[in-house]
Amino acid sequence: MTQVSWLDRIHSPEDLRALPFDALTELASEIRQVVAETCSRNGGHFAPSLGVVELTIALHCVMDTPRDKLIWDVGHQCYPHKMLTGRARRFHTLRQPGGISGFPRRDESPYDAFGVGHASTAISAALGMALARDANGEDYRVIAVCGDGAMSGGLCYEALNNVGYLSPNILIVLNDNEMSIAPPIGAMSRYFNQLITTQFYNRSKQTAKDLLQRMPAVGQRVLNIGHKIESSIKNLIVPQETIFEKMGIRYLGPIDGHDLGEVVTTLRHVRDLKGPMLLHVKTVKGKGYEYSESDPERWHSGCDFEVETGRKMVAVGEGVSGQPPTYTEVFAQTLVQEAEKDRRITAITAAMPAGTGLSLFADKFPKRFYDVGIAESHAVCCAAGMACEGLRPVVAIYSSFLQRAFDQIVHDVALQNLPVTFAIDRAGIVGDDGPTHHGVFDLSYLRMVPGLVVMAARDEAELRRMVVTAARYDGGPIAYRYPRSRGTGATLDETPEPIEIGRGEVLYESARRSGRPSVAILSIGTMSASALSAAAILESKGIACAVADMRFVKPLDRTLLKRLAEECDLVVTVEENVVAGGFGSAVNEAVGAMEIERRVVNLGLPDRWIEHGRVPDLLKSFGLDARGIARHALSALESHAQSVAHSEVVAK
């Protein structure tokens, strides 16, 4: 193991800038060592961070952070940045409850100029900061670091369009490792590849000189610095014909992102050039660790591995013998079964073929599978087009990333009542990735869309039925959500039956109810297991219970709801979604419309941001475990009993 020494001396980038250049290579390997050791225990985005170690060192050496604004795209590659900006000593708490976040956060450090977790935001945010700087008459630098994968996201193009037009002083560093999570798909990544592999490395020095001379004021000065710089000028090649040049953004590069000398020198040359610039930096994802270098997709993120051997790394989604399959696996297997019967079914992912399980579909039906890049809005609108022409597209997107495509769901799919299926993975609290990744809004943002059927699976067997239900549904758009976890071990039906649309299911009902206080617990999705356990606790305290998995947030099973609301003293709704506008709200609205005088208690996630942490701990902290549900039900019953007693006294 490397003796950590240089890193120990760095409390801020000031200390980094004071180090001798020769120390930087050793520092880079120390950082890699700490990233590996920490990720092996805590999990995290391993390969992306290893790939930007030298780039991060160089950026903090050359730029005057935090005065200069350094903005990371996605932010999953920020571990070296965190270590160099005063968080090395706390780095072992990465992604731990109460520890430092796996993503940049403005409330964590002044060096985290922009909070992030979703892709393709950096250039827009950087432009905004540059415009604010100019409006305020200030002069700091603004630097966006954006991956080639993130560059498949539409937001980047909207930003580039604006940058090229407004022409502010801004540096975009394209961190091109030729990988998204999976190999990137798309014409743009092909183009980046051409920039790297074709003639540009071999362009004559004269071209660079000519172009530098054309850069106002600074060009001549740079040229005069002399012989030493000439080798690095080679890297400042600016081919006029790049797409960026045509948009008014100077293109520089490509340079080797692991050659510290080259990156530092280049950044020094370009940092005060005027106008918008894109510096193309070639890096290797997973650099410096043989296992991640050879299989960066598998090592994109993960935990529980032995640093020396690379063994034991198991990502969610990978089968482990003896354990139930993940919801993701069950979704993918069932979809493949349905697609075997229905040739109209196509599958779309936004750059997450493995994460969504759709690699399985891609293997079976390569011609019916589409990876559209990190482009959720496009994925949904494209699905709408397919549906117009008779296909039955299934768009599999994580709950939090589907937020990007809200208008496409509303305007392109639902308004035209098109048969698009939304398979919403990672619904609910996801754990260590924290607030950017928790999928806790989808029930709210979907249930208000007219005509959209919204289901939530309580276990993997129900998920199978929901996949089948959606595949055979002819009424318009339909969605089902499921969590990031293994299933419950439910028995999987070989030939799952579709569920009647809008039909909930009673999971438990007390045999004897009369003479006892009673509670109807209405759950949605995975909360059903805790609801059942809560009922057992309540029964042990003499309270009669009914537990129903409502299955559909929309359309709600009003018949079942009416019966249970009429028969029980109290209705408790339970969901792993924000209470605001979610399943409980739907129940409130329905009960109100039925004009039933019934107290309804809504349990769900609060109206505040949920930090990273272990899923069971977080659920417990919000009262969404069995005890919490029972506790809330009991106290609501008590206050109900008091108010009944009070009204009886008043009536007498």
Ligand X SMILES: Cc1ncc(C[n+]2csc(CCOP(=O)(O)OP(=O)(O)O)c2C)c(N)n1
Q: Which residue, 163 or 372, is less far from ligand X as judged by CB?
A: 372
Three-state SS at 344: coil
* 73, 126 contact by CB (below 8 A): no
Q: Does 118 bind ligand X (CB under 6 A)?
A: yes
The SS3 call for residue 38 is helix
Select the residue interacting with ligand X from 71, 94, 113, 119 (CB under 6 A).
Answer: 119
Cis amide prior to 216 (ω within 30 degrees): no
**Cβ nearer to ligand X, comparing 118 with 598:** 118
Q: Looking at 73-81, 127-135, 383-391, 605-613, which segment touches ligand X (CB under 6 A)?
A: 73-81
Binding part of the chain for ligand X, among 172-180, 195-203, 558-566, 640-648 by CB under 6 A, reads: 172-180
76 contributes a contact to ligand X by CB under 6 A: yes
φ/ψ of residue 279, rounded to 5: -100, 115
Q: How far apart are CA 643 and CA 456, in angstroms?
A: 35
56 is an interface residue for ligand X by CB under 6 A: no
CB 605 within 8 A of CB 576: yes
Q: Answer yes or no whether residue 150 interacts with ligand X by CB under 6 A.
A: yes
Secondary structure (DSSP) of 528-548: HHHHHHHHHHHHHTT-EEEEE
- Least distance from ligand X to the Cβ atom of residue 182, Å: 8
How far apart are alpha carbons 370 and 146 in whole angstroms?
A: 24
Query: Scanning the structure block, which residue is given the tokens 């922009």?
Result: 114
Contact residue for ligand X among 179, 249, 270, 402 (CB under 6 A):
179
Distance CA 116, CA 72 (A): 8
Q: Which residue is nearest to ligand X (CB)?
A: 147
Nearest to 443 by CA among 435, 434, 452: 452
Q: Please, which residues have CB within 8 angstroms of residue 128's CB and are 6 or more apart in sequence?
A: none
Only one residue has tokens 């092996």, namely: 40
Q: Smallest Cα–Cα separation from 419: which of 455, 385, 389, 392?
A: 392
Least separation in angstroms between CB 195 and ligand X: 15
Judged by beta carbon, residue 59 or residue 545, the one nearer ligand X is 59
- The question of whether 234 is a catalytic residue gets the answer no
According to the binding rule CB under 6 A, does residue 77 interact with ligand X?
Answer: yes
Choice from 147, 317, 483, 525 touching ligand X (CB under 6 A): 147
Q: Phi/psi of residue 613, each to 5°?
A: 165, 180
State which of positions 240-279 bind ligand X (CB under 6 A): none
**Residue 172 vs 579, nearer CB to ligand X:** 172
Residue of 105, 285, 486, 554 marked active site: 285
User: In angstroms, what is the minimal distance from the CB of 401 to ligand X?
Assistant: 4
Provide DSSP, 108-140. Answer: T-TT--S--SSSS-HHHHHHHHHHHHHHTT---
For residue 590 the two structure tokens come to: 């329905």
Q: Using the Cα atoms of residue 233, residue 234, residue 236 and residue 241 in order, give the sign of their dihedral.
A: positive
Binding residue (CB under 6 A) for ligand X from 80, 149, 525, 582: 149
Q: Which neighbouring-strand residues pair with 571?
A: 520, 600
404 near ligand X, judged by CB under 6 A:
yes
Q: Closest CB to ligand X among 265 and 399?
A: 399
> Least Å distance between CB 508 and ligand X?
39
User: Is residue 87 a contact residue for ligand X (CB under 6 A)?
Assistant: no
Q: Which stretch binds ligand X (CB under 6 A): 34-42, 143-151, 377-385, 505-513?
A: 143-151
Distance CA 488, CA 507 (A): 16
Q: Which span (303-311, 344-352, 421-429, 455-463) binds ligand X, by CB under 6 A?
A: 344-352
- For the record, the structure tokens of 404 come out as 């990007």
Out of 43, 44, 48, 115, point to the residue binding ligand X (CB under 6 A). 48
Nearer to ligand X, 158 or 505 (CB): 158
Decide: is 81 part of the binding site for ligand X (CB under 6 A).
no
Which of the stretches 71-79, 416-424, 479-487, 493-501 binds ligand X when contact is defined by CB under 6 A? Answer: 71-79
**Which residue among the candidates 30, 329, 338, 376 is catalytic per the annotation?**
376
Tell me the closest approach of the beta carbon of residue 229 to ligand X, in angstroms: 30
- Residue from 10, 39, 74, 587 touching ligand X (CB under 6 A): that is 74
Q: Is 172 in the site for ligand X (CB under 6 A)?
A: no
Question: Contact between 148 and ligand X (CB under 6 A)?
Answer: yes
Contact 163, 171 (CB under 8 A): no
**DSSP state at residue 97:** T
285 given a catalytic annotation: yes
**Pairing between strand 345-349 and 392-398?**
parallel
Of 40, 42, 180, 528, the one binding ligand X (CB under 6 A) is 180
Strand ranges inside 334-391, DSSP E: 345-349, 369-371
Cβ neighbours of residue 55 under 8 Å, at least 6 residues apart?
145, 173, 175, 257, 263, 281, 283
Options 237, 238, 372, 374; binder of ligand X; rule CB under 6 A:
374
Residue type, 557: D
Q: d(Cα 47, Cα 26) in Å, to the nearest integer?
A: 19
Binding part of the chain for ligand X, among 12-20, 195-203, 348-356, 467-475 by CB under 6 A, reads 348-356
Contact between 602 and ligand X per CB under 6 A: no
- Give 348's strand partners: 370, 395
Identify which of residues 394 and 544 has a Cβ nearer to ligand X in the complex: 394
401 binds ligand X (CB under 6 A): yes
Q: Is 591 in the site for ligand X (CB under 6 A)?
A: no
**Angle of CA points 444, 440, 313, to nearest 5°:** 150
Q: Minimum Å distance from CB 619 to ligand X?
A: 24
Both tokens of 486, joined, read 């293994």
> At closest approach, how far in Å is the CB of 49 from ligand X?
8
- With CB under 6 A as the rule, give the number of residues binding ligand X: 24
Note if 541 is an active site residue: no
| Full DSSP string of 234-274 | GGG---TTSHHHHTT-EEEEEEETT-HHHHHHHHHHHTT-S
Site for ligand X, residues 272 to 301, rule: CB under 6 A: 285
**Which positions lie near ligand X, rule CB under 6 A?**
48, 51, 73-74, 76-77, 118-119, 147-150, 177, 179-181, 285, 350-352, 374, 376, 401, 404
Active site positions, annotated = 285, 376, 404
